[in-house]
Structure 1
């Protein structure tokens, strides 16, 4: 498993992931109105955070993509 998530990508994933998890529990938003949307947002948010922490995205690997800078 080779790292394929770069630094800026990691920051964006962490911010977006944490935001999704937090916003899923704000009662005034439509995400909290439906349990399916709420837990879907939590799941996507947690996946974003986890892929940022381990610096590996399986979807990137599937399509042979990488946002990591290659050092020579």
Structure 2
């Protein structure tokens, strides 16, 4: 079940890619081992949730950013 819309997906994918690339593009961050891994992990989580269009945190808090009458949020079925 998808729980966020297209704009949220694009933001997650772009931000995730930027966070994954950031430690390798800046010299001051590349020297910080654990922080570099943490930032890359956050980027990876954003990319994965953007691809599968499901965010467990949204489910916990009851957030849904997609329109209920759209087929792209209901897995091909109207809600």
TM-score by length of 1: 0.89
Runs of 4 or more, structure 1, over 4 Å off, are none
1:65 aligned to 31, 56, 63, which one? 63
Unaligned runs of 5+ in 2: 70-77
Cα deviations across residues 12-51 of structure 1 (Å, max 9, x unaligned)?
00000000000111243x3222111101011000000000
User: How many pairs were matched up?
Assistant: 70
Partner SS state of residue 17, structure 2? helix
Partner SS state of residue 24, structure 1? helix
2:38 aligned to 37, 40, 65, which one? 40
The offset of 1:7, in angstroms, is 0.4
What residue number does 1:3 align with? 2
Task: Output the aligned Cα RMSD.
Answer: 1.2
Mapped to 2, the partners of 1:32 and 1:64 lie a distance apart of 37
